[in-house]
Structure 1
Amino acid sequence: MTGGVTGGVVVPAYFHPAVAAGAWRALAAAGDAVRAVVFNVDSGPGAAPERELLAVAARLRVPVLGYVDAGYGARPAADVVADLARHRAWYPVTGVFLDRVPAGPAHLSHCAALAAAARRHGLPQVVFNHGVHPHHGYAALADALVTFEGPATAHRDVAAPRWVRDHPAAMFWHLVHDCPPDEAAAVRTRAAAHHAGMVYATDRRGVNPWDGLPSWPL
């Protein structure tokens, strides 16, 4: 990610320390390969600050990005901005991870306004999770774009448009689940071949494959 994060591993930490204390300890002790952590309390900052969450976030030695749901452009901007403000007020976040961001050109102005609001609220690092390669105009709005999110079987067919080569590889992130341990290296190699510098692979699966860490070390 430009503006503070180079290539490596980004971890979507969608798990609470009450049920995954060991995972948070592992994140706090992770080596230099981990470059950022996405901090997701409850599909956003939650209803009120939690001391336990504040403690685990404060122990991390990498940029912490607050998770906010953009609702594919259908969620009211005021609600999105309110979540941005809560993250900034309650937790030691340095940026925002906007999930479910639309990929088409019709939403460029809406997403530009969200990115500007994040920066006004003291969250200078902005990541858009499209889950696919979006219209090239989004690259001018965010510091990083998630251009793949899905299972390892789908990642085998990933293909990047030519415009991504106009930007640093660290700007493009791949989040891969349902990945057998013996395929993790292939996922990283394939992501690099398609100009994605930030990669996270896990063998976890189900409705929320980001609810813990993979079975192998980070």
Structure 2
Amino acid sequence: MPYLTSTPTGTSSTDVRTGFGVPGCAHPLLAPAEWTELTRPGTPLHWVVLDVAGGPGVQPDPHCLDAAGRLRNAGVRVLGRLDAAHGTRSFPELIADARRFHEWYRVDGFLLDRCPADRAGLPEVRRTAGALRALRDDAHIVLGHGTHPHPGYAENADQLVTFRGAWSDYRWSQVAEWTADYPPERFCHLVHGLPRGHLDEALRIARWQGAATIWFTDRTDRGGLADPWENLPGYWDDIISRIGTGVSE
């Protein structure tokens, strides 16, 4: 199925362009500068995930509605986060969350986070993806496995997150052979705990492994006690300039 990128108004794209997939910042009240920065013209964004309260929340949040609207007005694709809980959440629960995201925030697609990766989970994920496309036929669907899944998953989404974790693991990671059958636009890598001095190395790894959508940050999970994705990396301006000038080559 086709892969469609969203870039801020006034930017151009090439056949293969490394860009950011933002796995979700803290609530706009807690991280207003982050949400504003994401609308900066020229920022190479493929998508930004909206997670109101472990999903869409129980009622529309005006602060999140405003943040999502400003992103979409800037030409950035916004994805609603659906927590698959490694296959333990029911189909009705996931679709109910998706409907709220669609009706309240007019999202452009969905990140099915903590998505199953084994062959046994494939039929239910296929069913879920079909229902999400029924909500919006042009929905951009990202499956957040965080590891290389069974190759059958590639036929059910626009993109797969095939790495999610620490730099200490990423720098020694290996790519699954079957991914060579697909273009880099189909794969995402999300890496935390990456020091500034290793940015070029990490960008080369993403290129060698064939992932066009990335998110690198020096924030850490502090042993599982913190969310490393809540804030922008300390080297935000630096990585923007590197991506924009093709340093990853």
Residue 88 of structure 2 corresponds to residue 88 of structure 1: no
Task: Find the aligned partners of 2:18 and 2:135 in 1 and give their Cα distance.
Answer: 26
In structure 1, the residue matched to 2:83 is 69
In structure 2, the residue matched to 1:133 is 148
TM-score (norm 2): 0.84
Kindly indicate whether the alpha-carbon contact (under 8 Å) linking 1:101 and 1:128 is maintained by their aligned counterparts in 2: yes
Q: Which is worse superposed, 137-146 or 187-196?
A: 187-196
Give aligned pairs, total. Answer: 218
TM-score (norm 1): 0.96
Match of 2:157 among 137, 142, 163: 142
Match of 2:200 among 170, 185, 189: 185
Kindly indicate whether the alpha-carbon contact (under 8 Å) linking 2:190 and 2:216 is maintained by their aligned counterparts in 1: yes
One-letter identity of the residue aligned with 1:166: D
Identity of aligned residues (%): 37
Task: Find the aligned partners of 2:50 and 2:183 in 1 and give their Cα distance.
Answer: 24
Shift of 1:2: 4.1
Residue 79 of structure 2 corresponds to residue 54 of structure 1: no
Match of 2:133 among 91, 105, 119: 119
Post-superposition Cα deviations, 1:157-213, rounded to whole Å, max 9, x if no partner, equal 111111111111011000000111111221111011011111110011122101111
In structure 1, the residue matched to 2:209 is 194
In structure 2, the residue matched to 1:203 is 218
Secondary structure of the corresponding residue to residue 28 of structure 1:
coil
Residue 165 of structure 2 corresponds to residue 154 of structure 1: no
Task: Find the aligned partners of 1:117 and 1:7 in 2 and give their Cα distance.
Answer: 29
Q: Which is worse superposed, 23-32 or 202-211?
A: 23-32
Could you tell me which runs of 5 or more consecutive residues in structure 2 were left unpaired when the two chains were aligned: 6-16, 241-249
RMSD after superposition: 1.4
Task: Find the aligned partners of 1:17 and 1:108 in 2 and give their Cα distance.
Answer: 34
One-letter identity of the residue aligned with 1:165: A
Task: Find the aligned partners of 1:46 and 1:7 in 2 and give their Cα distance.
Answer: 32
Task: Find the aligned partners of 2:21 and 2:2 in 1 and give their Cα distance.
Answer: 13
Point out 4+ residue stretches in structure 1 off by more than 2 angstroms.
none
Task: Find the aligned partners of 1:107 and 1:149 in 2 and give their Cα distance.
Answer: 19
Shift of 1:92: 2.8
Match of 2:180 among 165, 168, 186: 165
Secondary structure of the corresponding residue to residue 49 of structure 1:
coil
Task: Find the aligned partners of 1:30 and 1:201 in 2 and give their Cα distance.
Answer: 20
Kindly indicate whether the alpha-carbon contact (under 8 Å) linking 1:2 and 1:144 is maintained by their aligned counterparts in 2: no
Kindly indicate whether the alpha-carbon contact (under 8 Å) linking 1:178 and 1:205 is maintained by their aligned counterparts in 2: yes
Task: Find the aligned partners of 1:184 and 1:95 in 2 and give their Cα distance.
Answer: 29
One-letter identity of the residue aligned with 1:124: A
Distance 1:46 1:30, change over 3 A: farther
In structure 2, the residue matched to 1:9 is 20
In structure 2, the residue matched to 1:19 is 30
Kindly indicate whether the alpha-carbon contact (under 8 Å) linking 2:49 and 2:111 is maintained by their aligned counterparts in 1: yes
Secondary structure of the corresponding residue to residue 23 of structure 2:
strand
